[in-house]
Amino acid sequence: MSRVRFFAALSAALIAFSAVSCSHQILVDDTDTNAKTTVTGEGEKETTSGTTEKETDDINSYIKVKKAKPAMWKVTDNKTGNEMYMLGIMRFATKYTMDLPDYVDEAYQKCSGVVMESDFNAMLDPQQLQEYTNHIVYTDGTTVKDHISKETYETAIEYLSKYSYYDKSMDGYSANGWAAQVNGVSIQRVENLAMENIDSKYLTQATQEGKEILGLEDLSVQLEIMDACSDELCDFMIYDTVRRSKDIRGFTSNLAYQYDCWARGDVDALDEEYYWNDRSADLDDDYANYLEVNLYKRNRNMADKLAEFIETGNKYFVVIGVTHFSGSKGIDDLLTEKGYKVELIK
């Protein structure tokens, strides 16, 4: 497997890593009352026509909210009257996503600049990309087999090999890299997911219109997140993602459920504290540390930067992953604590 193929799957994983494996499960009735099923030697269902259960599934088959009304916030500095707007987004799109309600585009039109979660220019810096690449490769002489259990390693190899995403060179990649790779392959089995998303839409539009473009984070944040995920937690994430994705209907419908939550503006249903809740108790501290670095610390840092931006007097349209607004420690809550007026629009 080439490095290009590895990082293609890795890139897919980075846009939706935690979103796919959250614990909210939907029971999908996939019983076909008109077709007789038997079980093949590998446990696959086979219909009387001889076709086996498909390896992919269409997310559009499960989406219930066709007309999105996502949560957006208007932030006002009561002292100066300065304003900005914040939109929470999912890290993937469906055929329904870009049909946004008027209030979203109206807010964008009022603003002189946009703020993205990631500083895309910094993310494309060759030095930072090389540092990122080096970060997911073991340099101490160990391989991934020294960092995850034999059972998880063999389970992951079987899964990745099935979809032609494994060769021996991968053993030198970190447990974090393996977790992202497994997740990326699983995501690619979901049909009709669009990688062009709301942030890229407004980034392109702002570039064409000559608006100011700012970013909140660079790749160093991703490196810190990777460091925060212990080997034991990565082991669990790898194994659990493979387990979930074996039921591609359940995996896809779960992703659609999360999309529906976003489309309804139900941001608290996407609180990452609910993710991976079938982990064992001995991983609770590891996951708490991961949440602190991956979510809460980032929320605090982004809220601080956004407070600086609003004080400039420029009006910004802010596009950030929706989970950064979920729960009681979201960016909207932090800005409220700082004394700003934060109004939910949806």
Contact 324, 255 (CB under 8 A): no
pLDDT tens digits for 83-141? 999 999 998 999 999 999 999 999 999 999 999 998 766 666 787 777 777 788 998 99
pLDDT value at position 110? Answer: 97
pLDDT value at position 122? Answer: 64
Distance separating alpha carbons of residues 173 and 170, to the nearest angstrom: 5
Distance separating alpha carbons of residues 346 and 344, to the nearest angstrom: 7
The SS3 call for residue 35 is coil
What is the residue whose two structure tokens read 């979930």? 244
Contact 63, 294 (CB under 8 A): no
pLDDT value at position 47? Answer: 32
pLDDT value at position 202? Answer: 95
Tokens of 131: 């540092």
Segments in the chain below pLDDT 70: 1-53, 120-124, 195
Question: Taking the model in full, what pTM does it have?
Answer: 0.84
Helices (H), the chain: 3-20, 102-110, 120-123, 126-135, 150-162, 175-188, 198-209, 219-228, 231-245, 248-264, 284-291, 297-311, 331-337
pLDDT value at position 86? Answer: 98
